[in-house]
Amino acid sequence: MSLRDLYHSYNYFVTEESGCLLVGFREDSVTFIVKEIWNKEPLCLADVDGLYAEMQQVGEMCSCNQFRILAHGGYLPEALSFELHGLTVSDESYLKSLESGKHIELFSHNEAAYRAIEEGFQKNRIGAVVQATGTGKSYLIARYIINHLEDTILVIAPNVTIIAEIEKAVGGTMQHVTYRTFQALVLNKADSEQLRADHIIIDEFHHFGAEVWGKAVQDVIDANPEARVLGMSATPIRPEEMLDTVEVYFKGNLFHELSLSMAWYYKILPVPVLVQSVFDLNNQLDKVQQLLNRSDCTSERRQHIQEKIDFARLDFRGSWSASELIRRYLPKEVKKMLVFCKDKEDLKNMIPEVSRWLNQAGLETETFEIHNGQSNRANEKILRNFRQDTGKLHVLFSINMLIEGLHVEGVDAAMFLRRTESYVVALQQLGRCLKAGSNHHPVVLDFVNNLSGRSVYEVMTRDLAYRPAIRAPKTFKGYTEFQVTGFLSDIRAQVDDMLAELDAWPVMYERLVEFKEREGRWPQAAEGKLGNWCNTQRIAYKKGTLSKDYISHLEQIGFEWEVQDSRWMSCFEELKVFMAKEHRCPKRGEHKLNTWCNTQRQARKKGLLPNERIRLLDSIGFWWEQDLDSLWMENWQQVLTYYKKHKRWPKSNEGKAGAWCNTQRKNRKQGLLSAERIALMDAEGFIWTIDDVWMENYGKLQQFFLENNRWPTARENKLGSWCFVQRRALKKGELSPTRKDLLDKIAFPWTLK
């Protein structure tokens, strides 16, 4: 069957242009472009770079930036370098997947993510993927489910809406998959204790940090010590306590990350047009006034800035109404809008108010509301009606149901009426109108100035200045600027102008010179006013708006125009403090920096670490090589100490000792553990397999009976749960004769009275 026919078998719409197949999930659009080649030699990076340019020209004609090359002659690993840029490469295994009838098509960025998941599980039993809202996490989960049909899978999610989205991506209900919400785990504890799975997938895993939900999920993980555990979320940070859930609950194993700023930069997600409102601007002007009062600037400059403040206050009082903002900035072709409200009372109050704004702007509307106060059936009916096209502007009001897990097709705009100090919630709100593969730029009406008067874009400024230092196609140009408009942007421009006059360029330049002489480096974007100022100079330089005189002054002191990754510099500074105190690099499991240090070593070996970073690490005496044998023996001694104290070997989820033991088991299975180390561990009776674990529990059961003269109940402790599993296995015919004989010898009761 030809590739075209295979796509038709999935009800894809296929046309041909310039030797490429244009494939669409709908008849009126092109979702991705495929070029099939019969190469004799495996594709290399140069081959792919040339093909990217050809396919990009085709993509420009049909507004599509997702490409796939089907190389019958295979490809080298380097050919996958452009997956974030929209191009993935497949061999004939792709055809076999299509022929299976269960193929899950992924965009190129998700192909990279899925491969990172499988590679991550080769090294660790537990790990996480962080991907921006709208990039297709449900399809990643669906691919994982389809590729593990022989195993049992448990999917845990915050609500039934997310579960429905995953089932839809998979193609319906599958016997080997069990779905549970976090709440269901808590309310049905007895049922949760019996859940068994080879794979556990936790969607929106930042909820893991919640005390009650987190304990329920952890109990399920503990009951399945051999299961792979995969976490998926748009953000690993819990805003309530600023907790990094990847570090705490996934042992720092971040398999893959695609932030919102990266998704924008690589054009994976469309960049919205942000229309800002004028609320809270008096607070901004008050801050400028305070700075002016404390400033030691000349009286002439003081009078000049004071006049600007007074003028801005008058301008602010005469600002546009909400209806005028809508009339000016909401395109007439918008047909679907989401509105986020504070609570149910706010929702009831805002429905007539927003309707009035829209009607005054000349728009004919139909309103809908969705929230947890209504039944699931009622909400589903409302969503179906909202999705229909009637020629009117459909406006859907929500409190929190659309925050996680639900994408409504064809949403053109969103309105922020829900004030939040949570960056996580703000991004989730923004993500509701973003979807991978779309070239449409939705409009966001920010009527509450989320994040204490700072727009979502301003919070991400330092990410915008950072361009990922990875290989890119010659013809690729990332998206680094946003369109921010509305009356608020005019007022803020005035505020920025006043601040610039208070912190004049020459003054900041002198402070930069002093900082460089004192610290021996350039300030990071996060290091207060001076760091932000440096960031502004870099952005102005890239835009071509920085004067030649300023450029000359900065180049005289060797100013770096390409900013270092703020996250990298943050880790570097933390390592610098650690090494100054300990006079060494962190050991494995001792500190989260150990993983970061190993990453730098590997990057240098592969030639991917920039010279500037090598120079910085050399300057603090970084150890490029480690004494791995000594490190292994040190870990083994810690495990032995645990064993002698607790009379058992640590479990895989019991800290770094348990994780280390799990790694040794995997290494032995893969033939990576030396005979000397195996012999050393055997001499102490180390448990290698599940059979060894079974025998350990069998011994504990004997000891329990001797001490208590009875058998443990099913809910009494973990040993009771183990007994329950043996009885269930016997009923199903899954208990081996050897194990049954052993239990019979100690008169184990197979039925409970």
Q: What is the mean pLDDT of each run of 10 residues along the chain (753 residues)?
A: 93 93 90 95 94 93 92 94 93 94 94 94 92 87 94 90 87 90 83 88 79 81 92 74 69 85 82 65 72 73 82 60 80 87 82 90 91 76 86 85 55 74 59 62 71 47 50 74 52 63 71 82 69 78 81 88 66 86 75 78 77 83 72 85 84 77 81 82 80 79 88 79 86 85 88 72
**SS3 label, residue 447:** coil
Structural domain boundaries, residue 683:
628-688
In a shared domain, residues 324 and 466:
yes
pLDDT for res 315? 57
**SS3 label, residue 413:** strand
Q: Is 134 exposed, middle or buried (0-12, 13-18, 19+ CB in 10 A)?
A: buried
Q: Which residue has the tokens 């990076």?
A: 45
**Residue 433 in domain:** yes
Q: Tell me, what CATH number does 372's domain have?
A: 3.40.50.300
How far apart (Å, rounded) are the C-alpha atoms in residues 402 and 130? 19
DSSP 150-175: TS-EEEEESSHHHHHHHHHHHTS--T
The number of distinct structural domains making up the chain is 7
In a shared domain, residues 375 and 433:
yes
Task: List all residues 6 or more positions away from 203 whose beta carbon is below 8 Å from its beta carbon.
Answer: 137, 141, 155, 156, 157, 158, 162, 166, 232, 233, 405
Last residue of a domain, one of 429, 452, 485: 485
In a shared domain, residues 586 and 556:
no
**Residue 301 in domain:** no
In a shared domain, residues 221 and 245:
yes
Do 442 and 413 touch, CB atoms closer than 8 A? yes
Q: Is 453 left (phi over 0), alpha (psi -120 to 50) or beta?
A: left
Last residue of a domain, one of 562, 579, 594: 562
Q: Following CA atoms 454, 457, 458, 462 in sequence, which dihedral angle do they give, to the nearest 10 degrees?
A: 150
Task: List all residues 6 or more positions away from 614 whose beta carbon is below 8 Å from its beta carbon.
Answer: 604
pLDDT for res 280? 46
How far apart (Å, rounded) are the C-alpha atoms in residues 422 and 416? 13
The runs of H, that is alpha helices, within 68-200 are 93-99, 108-121, 137-146, 160-170, 182-187, 189-193
Q: What is the DSSP letter of 75?
A: B
In a shared domain, residues 456 and 574:
no
In a shared domain, residues 352 and 445:
yes
Last residue of a domain, one of 591, 619, 647: 619
**Residue 299 in domain:** no
In a shared domain, residues 207 and 117:
yes
CA-nearest of 159, 150, 259 to 199 is 150
Q: Tell me, what CATH number does 86's domain have?
A: 3.40.1350.10
pLDDT in tens, 68-126: 999 999 999 999 999 999 999 999 999 999 999 999 999 999 999 999 999 999 999 99
Q: Is 466 exposed, middle or buried (0-12, 13-18, 19+ CB in 10 A)?
A: buried
In a shared domain, residues 549 and 615:
no
How far apart (Å, rounded) are the C-alpha atoms in residues 194 and 200? 14
C-alpha distance from residue 663 to each of 91, 254, 405, 463, 668 (Å): 32, 17, 34, 35, 9
Looking at the whole model, is its pTM more than 0.75? no
Burial 49-82 (b: 16+ CB within 10 A, else e): bebbeebbebbeeeebbbbbbbbeebbeebbbbb
Do 443 and 473 touch, CB atoms closer than 8 A? no
Kind of pairing between the strands at 153-157 and 126-131 = unpaired
In a shared domain, residues 481 and 348:
yes
Q: Which residue has the tokens 């296995």?
A: 729
**Residue 54 in domain:** yes
Do 393 and 209 touch, CB atoms closer than 8 A? no
In a shared domain, residues 338 and 475:
yes
CA-nearest of 727, 725, 733 to 195 is 725
pLDDT in tens, 149-198: 999 999 998 878 788 889 999 988 898 999 998 888 888 877 777 889 99
Do 297 and 487 touch, CB atoms closer than 8 A? no
C-alpha distance from residue 674 to each of 111, 118, 122, 657 (Å): 34, 25, 18, 19
Residues in the chain: 753
Strands (DSSP E) contained in 423-562 are 443-446, 484-485
The H or E element spanning position 275 is strand 273-276
pLDDT for res 451? 37
**SS3 label, residue 428:** helix
Main-chain dihedrals φ then ψ at residue 597, nearest 5 degrees: -60, -45
**Residue 490 in domain:** no
Paired tokens of 332 = 């007439």
In a shared domain, residues 395 and 437:
yes
Q: What is the DSSP letter of 427?
A: H
In a shared domain, residues 248 and 113:
yes
Do 394 and 327 touch, CB atoms closer than 8 A? no
**Residue 360 in domain:** yes
Kind of pairing between the strands at 336-340 and 413-416 = parallel
